[in-house]
Chain A
């Protein structure tokens, strides 16, 4: 494999550059996916049937914590990539682990949130509104979950192989994914929770 030394390692080989552009295109598709979910959410928002409306079940405290956790994790994965570019493998792994732990914390609170919803009578089957609420939050949460597994694979490879064009490429693409999940959360937080609680 020819490695281009003038670029950061993650762009080092031709295949690496292809991988990164390909992943950006995938993010484009994800934008369309979440756009569709938002379109359905806004359509079904007032169709609560006999169930509760958003304002009745949303709570600000968990949402606030989730937001801070995810924002911080987005910051730490950014730092991981920065450390990776400086060639510091230990710092990279440390930031990766912090990121995943923050993600895990986010998931824990989201599950707590779901349990609260269900206790307040908003189950998946209650109404059109609750169905799309669970679907949109669940899709985002599932992305985070997949991200955590993926992150674990990458950490173990960083341990094993150190910083190579291959591992750096994977880590960088993972960081794109993780930042994107943060962007999606910002929109969920603003236009589902904040809008619902106003």
Chain B
């Protein structure tokens, strides 16, 4: 039974639960908006990294490079789309 629950996965699960609890606890603390957002950003990206590396085995084959380039490219496009859109339609619009 024990071998069905490898340590790597259990630790990964516990740490993602912890990160979620940290994020959720922001609801009960009265931090500044900037600080809360920074914590959220950190917890979210850490959790994503745990999923990607621990659970999704992104780096286990010879295609590691292609896979990471695809993911980075996707994240780059997503961030450019989000911040570019906000720049054009909200922040830079007056």
Contact = CB atoms under 8 A, between A and B. Distances in A.
Query: Do any CB atoms of chain A lie under 8 A from CB atoms of chain B in the complex?
Result: yes
B48 A35 contact: no
Contacts, number: 142
B56 A176 contact: yes
The residue in A176, A191, A198 that gathers the most chain B C-beta atoms within 10 A of its C-beta is A198
Contact of B71 (A28, A72, A81): A28
Contacts of B43: 190
B20 A71 contact: yes
B22 to A, nearest CB: 11
A46 B90 CA distance: 10
Interface residues of B, number: 49
A183 B48 contact: yes
Interface stretch (A83-91, A116-124, A141-149, A157-165): A83-91
Given A190-B40, A198-B33, A32 B78 contact: yes
A36 B37 contact: no
Contacts of A43: 85-86, 89-90
A21 B66 contact: yes
A74 B51 contact: yes
Contacts of A82: 4, 6, 9
A126 B5 CA distance: 47
Contacts of A166: none
Contact of A21 (B16, B63, B90): B63
Contacts of B67: 21, 24
Contacts of B82: 35, 38-39, 42
Contact of A35 (B41, B52, B81, B86): B81
A97 B9 CA distance: 18
Q: Report the 8 A-B pairs with minimum CB-CB distance, sorted nearest first.
A: A35-B78, A31-B74, A28-B74, A28-B70, A75-B13, A39-B85, A39-B82, A190-B44
Interface of B: 3-6, 9, 12-13, 16-17, 20, 23-24, 26-27, 33, 36-37, 40-41, 43-44, 47-48, 51-52, 54-58, 61, 63, 66-67, 70-71, 73-75, 77-79, 81-82, 84-86, 89-90
